[in-house]
A and B are shown apart, each in its own frame.
Chain A
Amino acid sequence: MKQLELALELILILLPSPLIAAAQSPEAKGLAIALEADKRDTGFGDFTADLQMILMNKHGQKSERKIRIRTLEVEADGDKSLTIFDTPRDVKGTAFLNFTHKTGDDNQWLYLPALKRVKRISSRNKSGSFMGSEFAYEDISSQEPEKYIYKWIRDEVFEGLECFVVEYSAVDKKNSGYTKQVAWLDKDQYRVWKIEYYDRKNSRLKTLAIKDYRKYLDKYWRADEMYMVNHLTGKSTKLIMSNYKFRTGLKDSDFSQNSLRRVR
């Protein structure tokens, strides 16, 4: 098996590159890009970050939320994450625990501090809004390549960067709010700079712009700002990330129902 892989690699290296492109179908190339992007982000271990979410309606009225996230990388499966709400004050202490899986439904629990209650929640449909924002749960949950079908469309220069433009749709079509998503990834570092979301009528519903990437641990790129605009409603949400910390020593036990009950 190992020898076969080596042989294939040699063939690929020896072949002139335009030929690979020609030999690869758009679907295979799209998947290869997604897998490469995923591969480049593996091995981070864990990270924590502070999030500020600014919701804006079409009249420009703003409301703000403060959130903290903790993420643990899980080998051979989706990540585990804990989201803690600090504001608005009436939901302070509410926490959301999510175990994503490469295949099948995620496991999700919500902690309601006033009742001290941990509630199991249904995770099947991810099209719902996250905290009243323009981000849906499926936009912010860990993007496992197994959950989508990819297709490379074209190469394009986007804001001065050589980019792949890749189209993808959820394997579980019924429970996604989109028929397809189109993403711009730069060829050099495989970072996503822009995503367009298409609704069931196949018209452009939302556009996400991502900017101010920074490199952590000399390898992992994280953005400081994401800006989602809903073209249908005129509403938008800005997500400002700060205080990224990698390999903080988080363990499995920090993502349990016990930890959810004592989280702050």
Chain B
Amino acid sequence: MKVSAAGIALFLALSLFAAPVTSLAHELSGYISAEGRFFFNDPASSEQERDNGSFAFQPEYYHEWEDGSAFLFVPFGRLDSTDSERSHFDIRELNYLRPTEDWELRLGVGKVFWGVTEFVHLVDIVNQTDLVENIDEEDKMGQPMVHFSVPRAWGVLDMFLLPYFRERTFPGRKGRLRNTLVIDTDHPIYESDDEEYHVDFAARYSNTIGNWDFGIYHFVGTGREPTLLPGTNKRGQPVLIPFYEQINQTGLDLQMVEGQWLYKLESLHRTGQGEGFFASVGGVEYTLVGIAETDMDLGLIGEYAYDERGDTATTAYENDAMFGLRLAANDADGTELLAGLIQDLDSPSRALSIEASRRFGSNWKLSLQAWGFLDSPADDLLFNVRDDDFLQVELAYYF
């Protein structure tokens, strides 16, 4: 299995590069940033440091040939003052793209996003979550892939061969925003004997019909969301060990626009991780343009997430309602504010978040992010981070 996948990839690569093409554009861009995270309370464990500072760097090199084919390289690195797990390096993208009239092929490490809702990214599965970056789960690890896309009048068919699995990152012993028990990422367990070399497949059909956008996919392979098993590490300390099952997952994402309303739905059915189950998230977004006779837009977001597994779900969203306000000032500095409330409907547990950002000059951007975790009972996933209310300040230089 391993050999044949690599063989196919190599054959494709060779046949593509064989065609003589002329070089067109080189381009270097990216950002470098400094970030501080300040916590309002002492950590739950004496092993954890209170605050942390870090630097991150993400350059991006792009090269395009005259026939439209392109090469992209995006490495990423972060150096953190306290958490050795958060100090990490990743290749976000390193791929070759060949678009033709009838099909499109991307070979190498790439990034793909599926989904429509704002708070939860339920159906997004191709790329692993880089959880140490941000608890909003929007940062993703680079995924080695052969991605073949066929756009037609009847829709788009995307096929993926994923020859290597990326583990989820988790905060380390000294870091905050972690489970009470540290998750030991050094010794994950795999259901498949091929471990991280198991070859995964995914196929997705998507289309736009009038006001509707939708996509439906099936994924076979290593689940991205591990089950955390109690165990001990080498030194005999109790830890949680990630267990990556072999799963089958069918997912749907659906969106409809009607005037100023957006209606959104994501659903999945997964087998292979315990009993088969359904999970879903849906909601609406309404935009008020030019509020109070200013240039400001206000977006109102309401969403609901459900997971059939209930309290045994591997996510925090099993019966939760989410509300959000997105304010865009539409000014020259691109000032934006996003406030969110996540309320568990089975307990008083809730999380509050505020994100704000604006540009200074044409290259600098200041971002603030604050999270608060309130009233979580001991059996709630958020109980782990009950003392971790924090404010994050990031200054980035884009080039």
Contact = CB atoms under 8 A, between A and B. Distances in A.
Interface of A: 55, 57, 63-64, 87-92, 105, 107, 115-117, 120-125, 127-129, 132, 177, 253, 256-258, 262, 264
Interface residues of B, number: 49
10 contacts: A64-B362, A89-B363, A91-B334, A125-B289, A257-B156, A258-B104, A258-B149, A262-B99, A264-B27, A264-B70
A64 B361 CA distance: 9
Nearest to A65: B362
Contacts of B259: 105, 122, 124
Contacts of A128: 289-290, 295, 297, 330
Contacts of A87: 362
B287 A120 contact: no
A122 B263 CA distance: 11
A87 B206 CA distance: 31
Given A132-B331, A258-B156, A262-B99, A125 B260 contact: yes
Nearest to B262: A122
Contact of A262 (B70, B257, B363): B70
B64 A88 contact: no
Nearest to B256: A120
A121 B97 CA distance: 27
Given A90-B396, A125-B287, A256 B151 contact: yes
A22 to B, nearest CB: 42
B398 A88 contact: yes
B257 A120 contact: yes
A89 B260 contact: no
Contacts of B361: 63
B275 interface: no
B328 to A, nearest CB: 9
B255 A120 contact: yes
Nearest to A237: B332
Interface in B312-370: 329-334, 359, 361-363, 365
A230 to B, nearest CB: 10
B16 interface: no
B399 A89 contact: yes
A88 B156 contact: no
B362 A63 contact: yes
B135 interface: no
A153 to B, nearest CB: 28
Q: Which of A57, A124, A129, A253: most chain B CB closer than 10 A?
A: A129
Given A122-B261, A128-B290, 7 more contacts: A88-B334, A89-B31, A90-B359, A107-B211, A121-B262, A132-B334, A264-B62
B231 to A, nearest CB: 34
B295 A88 contact: no
Contacts of A253: 101, 151
Contacts of B97: 262
Given A87-B362, A88-B398, A116-B113, A132 B289 contact: no
Interface in B75-104: 97, 99, 101, 104
Interface string B155-189: 01000000000000000000000000000000000
B5 to A, nearest CB: 23
A232 to B, nearest CB: 10
Contacts of B295: 128-129, 132
Contacts of A129: 295, 330
A257 B149 CA distance: 12
A128 B329 CA distance: 10
Contacts of A177: 290
Contacts of A57: 332
Contacts of B12: none
B334 A90 contact: yes
A125 B289 CA distance: 7
Given A105-B259, A262-B99, A120 B104 contact: no
Contacts of B396: 90
B91 to A, nearest CB: 15
A178 B27 CA distance: 41
A90 B398 contact: yes
- Which 6 residue pairs are nearest across A and B when measured between Cβ atoms? A89-B398, A125-B289, A129-B330, A116-B113, A132-B332, A90-B398
Contacts of A122: 257, 259-262, 287
A57 B332 CA distance: 9
A90 B156 contact: no
Nearest to B206: A257
